[in-house]
Amino acid sequence: MIPVEQAQKQICAAFRPLPAEQVGLAEALGRVLAEEVTARVSHPPFAVSAMDGYAVRAADVATVPVRLKLVGTAPAGGHYEGRVGPGEAVRILTGGPLPEGADSIVIQENARRDGDSVELTAAAEPGRHIRPQGQDFEAGKPIFRAGTRMTVRDIGLAAAANRPWLKVRRRPRVAILSTGDELSMPGEPLGPAGIVGSNGLALSAFVRACGGEPVDLGIARDDSGVLAEMLAGAAGADLLLTTGGASVGDHDLVQETLQAQGMKLAFWKIAMRPGKPVMFGQLGSTPVLGLPGNPVSALVCSLLFVKPAFAVMEGRAPGGETETAILGSDLKANDQRQDYLRARLGRDAEGKLVAHPLARQDSAMMAFLAQADGLVIRPPHAPAAKAGEIVPVIRFPSDLLGI
Ligand SMILES: Nc1nc2c(c(=O)[nH]1)N[C@H]1C(S)=C(S)[C@@H](COP(=O)(O)OP(=O)(O)OC[C@H]3O[C@@H](n4cnc5c(N)ncnc54)[C@H](O)[C@@H]3O)O[C@H]1N2
Ligand code: MOO
């Protein structure tokens, strides 16, 4: 059994950044930028009013009340051609370009208009209610670094910066093959010893949530001939994930079938729980990660090994998800396998993160995984721990909506 960190390193080393492709901004949500992006315009492009009111020279409105002559209008999208001279004001609306000569806005709540003049009742200060040119961002300056995953907010910013297309990394294509005689597709009638095969759909959702393109190859029976035939579907994938048949049972044929197909085995078995029988290898140009059949193991191992591989394929630095939390209950000493305990995460009275490991940690129990907010990491041979100690945790990502 190899340590988790070594497995992560070996897996990451097998991937390269994927080629870039150009997409329209409407398609860019969740995509990862292949290059730095600069603004093509400044925002605002010129000084504008932030309020509805009157553009004035602040010096004219130092003492109030004062009456100024109205010489024109500057609505949003319009422009007052002239220059605001002494004793003059221009009617201006929110977003309207600041006319030359004016250096302040008096809001209309502090003004009484009378025909072509206006009486101002509040003193003006230079710069008040004016958004200077380029206050938000400037043309030619970077707005996103390469490797940024585009959120809803980022789409808004790119659009405002006049970038209707972007160069992004191609989505990682991940083939997923479930194995096991006992499995049927969700919704199908179950045989007497049947189990619903949930991993294919769960892993597809995981791949999609990470920004990849899942290719669900279906369920292979525990038969090397069938397995070999179905593996053909993985040709051209950036990664092949298998689930089940990873351990030492009589029907655990995945590894030997893959090796017979030419897979070079990199490692088998990691000192971790869940996920001990994880296997990694290379089949032609496709890295293969053999996940255990237990559904919790399959998903936890995806978080620990597939997500970092995605980071490499997307040109981002893997890792950085681990943080610390206060342990909410006592834990027994650990054995030689690094444990990933499903836990509820909350906040104490001071707002500090607190982790409460769940009562059951069986790697077949999906309902507990669904209740968990993250994982408490127990290193190999960690001594017994008391509630209140600081422990490393990984929070489950909750950014599916992208904002
Ligand atoms: N003698 C030993 N037995 C086991 C060991 C061991 O070291 N020695 N390791 C255990 C560990 S740890 C794990 S994890 C499991 C993993 O075994 P496999 O990867 O071979 O998985 P299967 O036996 O095929 O299935 C395990 C379990 O998960 C269910 N399953 C399988 N595929 C799916 C799917 N697509 N969707 C939902 N559920 C699935 C399957 O029915 C089994 O109940 O091995 C231990 N045994
Ligand atoms: O390591 Mo297994 O994944 O405990 O269930």
In a domain, 253, yes or no: yes
Distances (CA, A) of 192 to 9, 178, 182, 189, 196: 42, 20, 9, 10, 12
In a domain, 65, yes or no: yes
The enclosing H or E element of 153 equals helix 152-160
This model of the complex carries an ipTM of: 0.97
In a domain, 112, yes or no: yes
* CATH number, residue 234: 3.40.980.10
Q: Over the chain (403 residues), what is each successive 10-residue block's mean pLDDT?
A: 98 98 96 98 97 98 98 92 97 97 98 97 98 98 97 96 98 97 93 94 95 96 93 96 88 90 96 97 97 97 97 93 97 98 97 97 96 97 98 86 47
Residues 248 and 342 in one domain: no
**Atom from ligand 2 closest to the CA of residue 273:** 1
Residue with tokens 């909410």: 328
Residues 28 and 165 in one domain: yes
**Parallel, antiparallel, or unpaired: how do β-strands 183-184 and 195-196 relate?**
parallel
Q: How many angstroms separate the CA atoms of 72 and 289, rounded?
A: 70
Which-ligand-closest: CA of 363?
2
pLDDT for residue 250:
77
Q: Where are the beta strands (DSSP E) in 62-200?
A: 66-74, 88-92, 104-107, 111-114, 117-120, 130-131, 142-144, 165-169, 173-179, 183-184, 195-196
Residues 74 and 100 in one domain: yes
pLDDT for residue 46:
97
In a domain, 402, yes or no: no
User: Do the beta carbons of residue 146 and residue 315 sit within 8 Å?
Assistant: yes
| Distance of CA 133 from the midpoint of ligand 2 (Å) | 59
Q: What is the dihedral of CA 295, 314, 210, 150, to 10 degrees?
A: 170
Probe target for ligand 1 pocket from 247, 250, 304, 361, with the most ligand atoms within 8 Å of CB: 247
Q: Whose CA is nearest to atom 24 of ligand 1?
A: 244
| Distance of CA 244 from the midpoint of ligand 1 (Å) | 6
pTM of the predicted protein model: 0.89
* CATH number, residue 106: 2.170.190.11
User: Do the beta carbons of residue 159 and residue 25 sit within 8 Å?
Assistant: yes
Q: What residues flank ligand 1, with Cβ below 6 Å?
A: 178, 180, 182-183, 195, 197-200, 243-249, 252, 274, 276-277, 292-295, 297, 363-364
pLDDT for residue 403:
46
| Count of beta carbons in the 10 Å neighbourhood of residue 275 | 27
Helices (H), 186-345: 199-209, 224-231, 254-260, 295-301, 307-313
Q: Which domain holds residue 378?
A: 322-395
Which-ligand-closest: CA of 292?
1
Residues 165 and 25 in one domain: yes
